[in-house]
Amino acid sequence: MVAIPGPSITPDRVLAAMHRPMPNIYQGPLVDVSNSIFADLPAIARTEGKPFMVIGNGHAAWQMAISNTLNTDKKVLVLESGRFAFFWGEMASMSGFDVEHVPGSDRGPVDPAVVHERLAQDTEHEIQAVLVVLTDTATGVRNDIKAIRAAIDAADHPALFMVDAIASLGCEPYEMDAWGVDLTVAASQKGLMTPPGIGLVWANDKALAAHDNANARVGYVDWEERMNVDEHYQYYGGTPPIPLLYALREALDMIAEEGGLEAVWARHEVLAGAVWAAVDAWSTPGGLENNIPDPAHRSLATTTVNAGSIDLEQLHLRTERDTGLTLGFGIGSDNPRFRIGHMGHLNPPMILGTLATTEATLLAMGAPLGGSGIAAATNHIAQALKH
């Protein structure tokens, strides 16, 4: 079983939906499915903005977002809280944009006060856009998007506010319009339970208007063709990713059947709490610990565990080879750490299995543990089941 922070587990129903012969791509059922997905996508990001799809991964969505909205004569401000906003900024640099990185903590969220201070200095409005991630998949932090918006507003700054929600869209609350986000990017393979291959971008009117001034547009991902559609295939810049569309349709239906996003978020909250309870119980001074000390700033989709002196190579080797559990490698830091993904198609038996198996492996390795994580996680779920 994979317990990495993406790609997440693909439900059998989603896999089965993909298995079909190729249809007519110009009319008929495929076009109906495609239209139904475009109709449903705004609600997934909680926006009235326009959704775009790009055949590709999250990086493709990054590219679509920046190349359709940015101008090379102005600056892009990248708010770091780990690695992923940094990588997005690197892509913007490679694409010819002038990027300024605001370094952040490796163990906590972006500080809105720092954002306010930087934007307040920018009286000439050289900064055209602010880029941040909702969840940083390297550190496991969840940024307070509403608070960052408030900081931008307090500085009375007109920059576009662009959020990468790739890791946790469909896992934790995200309200694009209510939180004042101008553009959101996501991808199919994490909270959305669909195999990799669909990048998603949502743009509000302000982001769409920025397209007119974007001077480094890239043909394949350009919104021009995709906004002025005569033929259905223009939504995709060519042949649609047919099996993935059927997969995404099924995944969106599953979210609706569960009771909608609120129900899915609530499930993730319980499961994330179980993971945190286990990690806290395992913790010892100088040993294992949650990388994000403050629970209020933890992602509901993925947890990064600082490993202390534990032999990570052995942990990964033994879990995968001896138990069939694949944990996520630590990334973006010299500090030894591993990651547990808890996004998408998961329930208590799966999470408790992941935690018990991790604990069994740690015990087999003779790792110092503060206590039984699995007892703590079970207790956490028991409390949730009372409600």
Ligand X SMILES: *Cc1c(COP(=O)(O)O)cnc(C)c1O
Give residues in contact with ligand X (CB under 6 A).
6, 57-59, 84, 133, 135, 137, 164, 166-167, 187, 196
Least separation, in Å, of the C-beta of 128 and ligand X? Answer: 21
The residue assigned the tokens 């694409």 is 95
CB 268 within 8 A of CB 303: no
Peptide bond into 51 cis (omega under 30): no
Pick 82 or 348: Cβ nearer ligand X: 82
Q: List the one residue out of 66, 61, 64 whose CA is nearest residue 78.
A: 66
Residue 233 CA from chain centroid, whole number: 27
Least separation, in Å, of the C-beta of 137 and ligand X? Answer: 3
Radius of gyration of the chain (CA): 21
Pick 69 or 302: Cβ nearer ligand X: 302
Pick 277 or 292: Cβ nearer ligand X: 292
Q: How many CB atoms lie within 10 A of CB 364?
A: 13
Least separation, in Å, of the C-beta of 254 and ligand X? Answer: 21
Least separation, in Å, of the C-beta of 7 and ligand X? Answer: 8
Pick 134 or 255: Cβ nearer ligand X: 134
Q: Give 236's DSSP letter.
A: G
Phi, psi (5° rounding) for residue 163?
-120, 130
Pick 64 or 207: Cβ nearer ligand X: 64
Least separation, in Å, of the C-beta of 85 and ligand X? Answer: 8
Residue nearest to ligand X (CB): 58
Pick 136 or 182: Cβ nearer ligand X: 136
| Angle at the Cα of 198 from the Cα atoms of 59 and 200, rounded to 5 degrees | 70
Q: How many CB atoms lie within 10 A of CB 27?
A: 10
| Single-letter amino acid code for the residue at 305 | V
Least separation, in Å, of the C-beta of 301 and ligand X? Answer: 8
CB 290 within 8 A of CB 303: yes
Pick 272 or 356: Cβ nearer ligand X: 272
Question: Which residue blocks in the chain are alpha helix, DSSP H?
Answer: 12-18, 29-45, 58-69, 84-94, 112-121, 145-154, 205-210, 223-227, 242-258, 261-282, 312-318, 348-364, 373-385
Least separation, in Å, of the C-beta of 194 and ligand X? Answer: 11
Q: List the one residue out of 141, 163, 158, 121 whose CA is nearest residue 293.
A: 141
Pick 52 or 84: Cβ nearer ligand X: 84
**Packing angle of the helix pair 58-69, 84-94 (nearest 10 deg):** 50
Pick 6 or 109: Cβ nearer ligand X: 6
Q: Which residues contact 230 (CB under 8 A, 6 or more apart)?
A: none
* Lookup: tokens for 356: 């018990």
Least separation, in Å, of the C-beta of 115 and ligand X? Answer: 18
Least separation, in Å, of the C-beta of 176 and ligand X? Answer: 15
